Amino acid sequence: MLADLTKFNTHIGMFMNNSSRNAVEKVEIKVASFIVEHNLPISLSEDLLALLSSLVPNDKMVQKATLGKQKTTNIIHQVLGFNVIKESVEDLRSRQFSLIIDETTDRTCKNQLAILVTYFNPDQFQMENNLIDIVELDDGKAENIYQAI
């Protein structure tokens, strides 16, 4: 999932020139990806980073890294999530798939549309389902759902 961090570093490179800052961000991204891969609560991010800091006290990059719940959530959504969607879309261009949509209303009465794909993965010889996006809708009318897709 994080095979290509250079794309991320290139994207934010215009804002930062310090290579140590990039190394600190790599640590933060890797901790966030570990949380996602192992389906751990985001609230563990700060404690997990503290544990890493205590295990490797001589590593300056780990010592400089900071992760709270909000920062971890932002990394997951804006960095990891973007790359996963991009990889999924590129993968789907080379195979047949079915689109599955489901419109729902949450507790705050906002209409949301979940967009999923299902396809056969020949590498693992099994069917796979991926969530592509969740889109907020003004209302659940067919025209708005069509436009969102």
Q: Could you give phi then psi for residue 108, rounded to 5 degrees?
A: -90, 10
From residue 144, alpha-carbon distances to 11, 35, 112, 149 in Å are 32, 35, 11, 9
Predicted pLDDT at 18? 55
C-alpha 120: how far from chain center: 23
pLDDT at 106: 66
DSSP-derived secondary structure letter, 111: E
At residue 138's C-alpha, the angle toward residues 133 and 142, to 5°, is: 80
**How far is residue 48's CA from residue 20's CA, in Å, rounded to a whole number?**
21
Where helices occur in the chain by DSSP H, the ranges are 5-12, 19-37, 45-55, 60-64, 69-75, 81-92, 142-148
Q: Mind listing the pLDDT tens digit of every residue in the chain (149 residues)?
A: 343 334 443 433 433 445 777 889 999 999 998 998 888 898 999 999 999 999 999 998 899 999 988 899 888 888 887 777 788 888 888 889 999 988 877 667 778 888 888 999 888 899 988 878 788 888 778 888 888 88
pLDDT of res. 125: 93
